[in-house]
A and B are shown apart, each in its own frame.
Chain A
Amino acid sequence: MLGHAVVQALRDASYAVDWLRDGQSAAAALARHGFQCILLDLGLPLRDGLDVLRELRARDDSTPVLVITARDAVDQRIEGLDRGADDYLVKPFAVGELLARMRALGRRRAGAAAPVLSNGVLALDPASKAVTAAGRRHALSNREFALLRELLVRPGAVLSRAELEDRIYGWGEEVESNVIEFIIHSLRKKLGPESIRNVRGLGWMVERAPQAESAQ
């Protein structure tokens, strides 16, 4: 049922799909053909998914493997990644996320993982220290760039004033009072009031876009 749905979704997204329903035939197909990307469900009949993965990696085959699992216990993830999975996706998932992760794996393989930091609304280019918001490009000061970069490394994560000060000021540098508020104020003026959100009592964050990767 899930297989049918995923195959349909991938075909809709113009991928060519080979769907193998058990561990043995999967291992056999992997030995014969080269693939761009492998989606591996761990709960395979006949042969364990992790076993298939181990055999693949033992052959020095570095095809990206995205493990799909119903088990999200932390050690199981670690085991999957240890055996050579590139990423994992816990059921249930949205098609958008699956496609985004497949694209990310593809980019990483091509060695062209985007250096641009983005949450889907803001895109920060470290090379030019400029940010794109709503199609407009804004130049940033060094402090503005440093602060926005810290927030965009993990969209959705809240950083406190102390953490932001620590990260954008070096050791021994004098931190002026209210400087974080000042930088955020000027960033909001350029990027809009909603661009950086304040979480009362905790700090600031940029929003996590639901399909952050697909926006790139």
Chain B
Amino acid sequence: MNVSLHRRLSAWLGMSILVVGLVAAALAFAIEYNGANTLQDTQLKQIAAVLALNPLPTTAMSFEPRSLGDREAHLVIKRLGAADADAGTGLALAEPLRPGLQTIQQGEVLWRAIVSEDVLGQRFAVAQHMAQRNDFALEVAALALLPLVLSIPVLLLIVNRVLTRAFAPMSAMTAEVDGLDGSKLKPLDERPVPLEALPLVQAINRMMRRLATLLDQQRRLVSDAAHELRTPVAALIVQADNVEHVNLSPEATTRMAALRQGLTRMSALIDQLLNFARVQGAAPAVSQRLDLNQLVRAAIEDALPMAQAKNVDLGCPRIDEAAIQGDPLHARVLVRNAVDNAVRYTPSGGSVDVSVVAEGGEVFLVVEDTGPGIAREDLKRVFEPFVRVLGSEQSGSGLGLAIARTAAQALGGTIELGERNDRHSGLRFTYRQMQA
């Protein structure tokens, strides 16, 4: 199982922030709550101390919320042992009470009270509703909680941002590596890579360079081999011509024709191998504006002799003005292979329609034939070099579509193969590229 470092870090950091934040919040709450209570006790003590400096009046006093405008200030001051047990304060105190701070239960209501003596030695009590005190403490504690609780999502957000930022070079690099194919291997940019990942990227780059050299050698080998083959094939063809120059028996003439056909096929294969090596980037590509109509016309002119020999009707139902940007060699090879393949695989009496359609900023080269088509399961495979579909007796080089696809990639366009969508059956080859 592969583990995402990003996700792992996110999870751990997020959890830590959450747990630590919550514990800290709980602690802060408890501390503040206690503090608030202690503070209120201290206040009671101070009030009692101040009151004790003077002789107390005999009546009980109650500081109502209204008089001070603050509910928490509700305070009852009462002389103990006085006749009026309650005096409207709601607090009836029964002796004996020990001096000092205490909690008194009276019916449903809890009081916090301090019992003290004034200068004349008269005992008195200062009391507060417990519920009021608790409300105040809760409020204070809750206020203390607020910044901590608010900081948790902010922290989570920051961690997420920082992690995404830190992993961005990796994501970018993945996209970059995914975008590479054999024809344009180039080392990855090492500048945005974090120090920790640098050795890995450098290793990848070293491998990439070795791979590029290897691919280059391979391409050159194919190209060189094809070139080297040309001379012996030329010799064979000339030799065959020479043999035909001698008076041959009719049977020998027939056999010579077969030999000659094989030679023609061989030289066509060599040409296709060279084309393949070329579109794979044996030569550096140039980019210029190309008239697609001219390319189509040249391809049709090249394929016409074969079409006429096979009695295949080759034509253009629609040909829009269209220009593309790219390497002329790639474009030429692409168009020629598309047309050539269609004519090659169309049986006698069939037709091949080549259309150029310019629509919505894009150019479409559509080649439709009335051949056997390609089974759905073979559609991907036929782009591989030397893959021939079973059942087709035609003898192509097996490279046409591989060449076309490589050329299409170099041009920045895409090839789509499928069934025709009109009343005919056959293969529909569509090449699309941005209009120049």
Q: What residues of chain A lie closer than 8 Å to B301, measured between beta carbons? A: 156-158, 205
Do the beta carbons of B314 and A200 come within 8 Å of each other?
yes
Once the chains bind, are B238 and A202 in contact (CB under 8 Å)?
no
Known: A200-B315, A202-B297, A202-B316. A92 touches B233 (CB 8 A): yes
* A98 (CB) vs chain B CBs: closest residue: B238
Q: Which candidate, B91-99, B129-137, B189-197, B224-232, is the interface stretch facing chain A? A: B224-232
Closest B residue by C-beta to A92? B234
Q: Which residue from chain A places its CB closest to the CB of B352 in the assembled complex?
A: A200
Q: Which of A6-14, A22-30, A80-88, A177-185 contacts B (4 or more CB under 8 A)?
A: A6-14
Question: Total interface residues on B, using CB and 8 Å?
Answer: 33
Query: How far is B231's CA from A200's CA once the two chains are assembled, in angstroms?
Result: 39
A90→B226 CA distance, assembly (Å): 13
User: Is A73 an interface position by the 8 A CB rule?
Assistant: yes
| Pick from B234, B297, B318: contact of A2, CB under 8 Å | B234
CB distance from B407 to the nearest CB of A (A): 16
Q: Are B237 and A158 in contact (CB under 8 A)?
A: no
User: CB < 8 Å: which of B234, B300, B318 contacts A93?
Assistant: B234
**0/1 string, A59-101, CB within 8 A of B gives 1:** 0000000001011110000000000000000111111101000
Q: Which residues of B contact A200 (CB under 8 A)?
A: 313-317
Q: Which one of B54-62, B239-247, B413-421, B422-430 is at the A interface? A: B239-247
Please name all residues of chain B whose beta carbon is closer than 8 Å to the beta carbon of A208 when the two chains form the complex. 305
Q: Which of A1, A73, A157 contacts B235 (CB 8 A)?
A: A1
Given contacts A156-B301, A158-B301, whether A202 and B319 have CB atoms under 8 Å apart is yes
On whether the beta carbons of A5 and B239 are closer than 8 Å, the reply is yes
B283 lies within 8 A of chain A by Cβ? yes
**Secondary structure type dominating chain B contacts:** helix
A92–B230 touching, CB < 8 Å? yes
Interface size for A (C-beta < 8 A) is 34
- Shortest CB distance B393–A (Å): 25
Residues A202 and B315 in contact, CB atoms below 8 Å apart: yes
Complex Cα distance, B319 from A202, in Å, reads 8
A189 beta carbon closer than 8 Å to chain B: no
B297 and A9 form a contact (CB under 8 A): no
Bound together, the chains give a CA A201 to CA B354 distance in angstroms of: 9
What is the minimal beta-carbon distance from B259 to any residue of chain A, in angstroms?
A: 14
Bound CA–CA A208/B303 (angstroms): 12
CA distance A127 to B227 in the complex (A): 45
Q: What separation, in Å, do the CA atoms of A9 and B263 have in the docked complex? A: 17
B283 surroundings in chain A (CB, below 8 A):
73
Q: A91 with B313: in contact, given A156-B301, A208-B305 (CB under 8 Å)?
A: no
Residue in B232, B241, B270 whose beta carbon sits within 8 Å of that of A96 in the complex: B241
Contacts of A91 in B (CB 8 A): 230-231, 233-234
Does B267 lie at the interface of the complex (its beta carbon under 8 Å from any beta carbon of A)?
A: yes
Least CB distance, B272 to chain A, in whole angstroms: 13
Q: Mark B245-271, 1 if CB is under 8 A from A, else 0.
A: 100000000000000000100010010
Residue A32 is within 8 A (CB to CB) of chain B in the complex: no
Q: Which residues of A contact B238 (CB under 8 A)?
A: 2, 5-6, 8-9, 92-95, 98
Taking CB atoms, residues of chain A closer than 8 Å to B230 are 70, 90-92
| A201 CB contact (under 8 Å) in B237, B241, B316 | B316
- Taken together as a complex, chains A and B put the C-alpha atoms of A211 and B237 apart, in Å, by 15
List chain A residues, Cβ under 8 A from B404.
none
Q: Which of B298-326 contact A (CB under 8 A)?
A: 300-301, 304-305, 308, 313-319
Q: Are B300 and A158 in contact, with the CB atoms below 8 A?
A: yes
Taking a contact as CB atoms under 8 Å apart, the answer to whether B242 and A199 are in contact is no
A4 within 8 A of B: yes
Closest chain-A Cβ to B134's Cβ sits at a distance in Å of: 94
In the complex, what's the smallest C-beta–C-beta distance from A136 to chain B, in angstroms? 23
Cα A166 to Cα B317 in complex, Å, equals 22
Looking at the complex, which one of B231, B274, B315 makes contact with A199 (CB distance below 8 Å)?
Answer: B315
Evaluate contact between B228 and A95: CB separation under 8 angstroms: no
Q: Are A202 and B241 in contact (CB under 8 A)?
A: no
List residues of chain B with CB within 8 A of the CB of A43: 231
Residue numbers in A under 8 Å from B236 (CB-CB): 5, 92
Most chain B CB within 10 A, of A6, A200, A205, A207, is at: A200
B315 and A201 contacting across the interface, CB-CB below 8 Å: yes
The answer to whether B314 and A5 have CB atoms under 8 Å apart is: no
CB atoms of B304 and A2 under 8 A apart? no
Q: Note all chain B residues with C-beta closer than 8 A to A199.
A: 300, 304, 314-316
Q: Mark A112-156, 1 if CB is under 8 A from B, else 0.
A: 000000000000000000000000000000000000000000001
Give chain A residues whose Cβ lies under 8 Å from the Cβ of B317.
200-201
Q: Tell me if A95 and B242 are in contact (CB < 8 A).
A: yes
- Shortest distance from the beta carbon of B381 to any chain A beta carbon, whole Å: 31
- Of chain B, the residue at the smallest CB distance from A203 is B297
A68 to B230: give the CA distance in the assembly, Å.
11
Complex CA gap A16/B409 in Å reads 52
Contact with B231, one of A70, A72, A95, A205 (Cβ below 8 angstroms)? A70
Interface centre among B227, B228, B234 (most CB of A within 10 A): B234
Tell me the nearest residue of chain B to A4, going by C-beta. Answer: B235
Q: Considering the chains assembled together, what is the distance between the CA atoms of A82 and B167 in angstroms?
A: 57
Chain A residues, Cβ within 8 Å of B300: 158, 199, 202
B residues near A (Cβ < 8 Å) are 227-228, 230-239, 241-242, 245, 263, 267, 270, 274, 283, 297, 300-301, 304-305, 308, 313-319
New contact pairs (8) apart from A2-B234, A70-B230, A91-B233, CB-CB < 8 Å: A2-B232, A3-B235, A72-B274, A92-B230, A92-B236, A92-B270, A94-B237, A199-B304
Complex A-B: 6 CB contacts under 8 Å: A2-B235, A70-B227, A156-B305, A199-B300, A205-B304, A208-B305
